[in-house]
């Protein structure tokens, strides 16, 4: 069943902290970075996750990227890893992990995703983490569970689900979620969010200002930040898509990806006020 993605559906499930809440209770989010010349996407995602309320956010990176990332972060932590097994060990106590933005379309990304799949953390897989499985999507689906979220644009979707878009975007997203047995966020002017149990929502507030590099990385971080706080994956994806688009539209002309995280608090305050009045 397809319905309109409206805050009234998920607003009361947003994970607001209480008086006794501490940072570890708000969840731990990991974001996997690419190599030294490909770190910006992970930093965008990590900052977004922190803004959405994840209590502890850590970037996990290849050793050569440490010197690039360390001067560019403050509240976000940084941990190098030298192998997929080491990455798996580092995320054992994390609630959610984002992987894919500028990760590299190579076998190391495949191995890293397979290692993360054993950790128990909810995964948000985006960008290179999707494209690397072109022609071998079954390997990806075998590693997923129903808490995981895939965030393809149409090109990435076609690589994983060739020919499926001919059915139309809503039907394609629903079938993709069924095949993958994970939540699928099919990005576009009217983003479709689909769950493996057949639920689907079309997002009505898509913003043209999001048509700029890096905004998809931010969206992955928003989803990850909500998942880290143990929000249901389908509702988290729906909330993230709406918040991301609403914030972009409020900013308007001149938006770049770096602007989004600093404007999320305004959108969140409005949502919280609506929740208090509901």
The residues, any chain, with a CB within 8 Å of residue 119's CB and separated by 6 or more, are: 88, 91, 92, 94, 97
Averaged over 138-167, what is the pLDDT?
A: 97
- Give me the chain's average pLDDT, please: 96
- CATH code of 115's domain: 3.40.1190.20
CA distance 97 to 22: 20
190, part of any domain: yes
pLDDT range class, residue 275, cuts 50, 70, 90: low
13, part of any domain: no
pLDDT range class, residue 24, cuts 50, 70, 90: confident
59, part of any domain: yes
Averaged over 39-65, what is the pLDDT?
A: 98
Q: What's the pTM value of the predicted model, to 2 decimals?
A: 0.97
Lowest mean pLDDT among 18-22, 183-187, 194-198, 259-263: 18-22
Which of 210, 189, 215, 247 has the alpha carbon at shortest distance from 127? Answer: 215
Which of 225, 159, 147 has the alpha carbon at shortest distance from 186? Answer: 159
Q: What is the pLDDT of residue 276?
A: 58
Domain count along the chain:
1
**Full residue range of the structural domain in which residue 68 is found:** 21-272
Composition of the chain by helix, strand, coil, percent to 5: 50, 15, 35
Structure token pair of residue 255: 């938006």
Question: Sheet harboring 122-125: ordered strands across?
Answer: 2-4, 200-202, 192-194, 183-186, 149-150, 122-125, 96-99, 28-32, 56-61, 77-80
């Amino acid at each position: 069943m397809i319905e309109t993605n409206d805050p009234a559906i998920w607003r009361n499930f947003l994970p607001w902290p209480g008086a006794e809440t501490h940072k570890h209770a708000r969840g731990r989010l990991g974001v996997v970075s690419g190599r030294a010349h490909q770190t910006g996407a992970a930093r965008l995602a990590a900052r977004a996750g922190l803004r959405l309320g994840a209590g502890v956010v850590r970037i996990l990176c290849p050793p050569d990227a440490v010197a690039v990332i360390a001067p560019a972060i403050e509240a976000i932590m940084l941990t190098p890893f030298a192998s997929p097994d080491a990455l798996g060990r580092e995320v054992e106590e994390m609630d959610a992990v984002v992987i894919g933005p500028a990760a590299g379309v190579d076998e190391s990304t495949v191995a890293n995703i397979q290692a993360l799949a054993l950790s128990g953390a909810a995964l948000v897989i985006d960008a290179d983490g999707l494209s690397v499985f072109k022609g071998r999507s079954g390997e990806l689906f075998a590693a997923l569970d129903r808490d995981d979220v895939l965030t393809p644009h149409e090109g990435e979707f076609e690589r994983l689900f060739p020919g499926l878009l001919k059915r139309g975007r809503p039907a394609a997203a629903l079938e993709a979620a069924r095949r993958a047995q994970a939540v699928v966020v099919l990005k576009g002017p009217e983003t479709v969010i689909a769950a493996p149990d057949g639920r689907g929502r079309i997002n009505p507030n898509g913003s043209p200002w999001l048509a700029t590099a890096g905004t998809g990385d931010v969206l992955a971080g928003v989803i990850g930040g909500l998942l880290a706080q143990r929000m249901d994956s389908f509702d988290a994806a729906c909330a993230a898509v709406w918040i991301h688009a609403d914030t972009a539209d409020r900013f308007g002309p001149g938006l770049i990806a770096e602007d989004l995280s600093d404007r999320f608090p305004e959108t969140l305050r409005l949502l919280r006020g609506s929740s208090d009045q509901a």
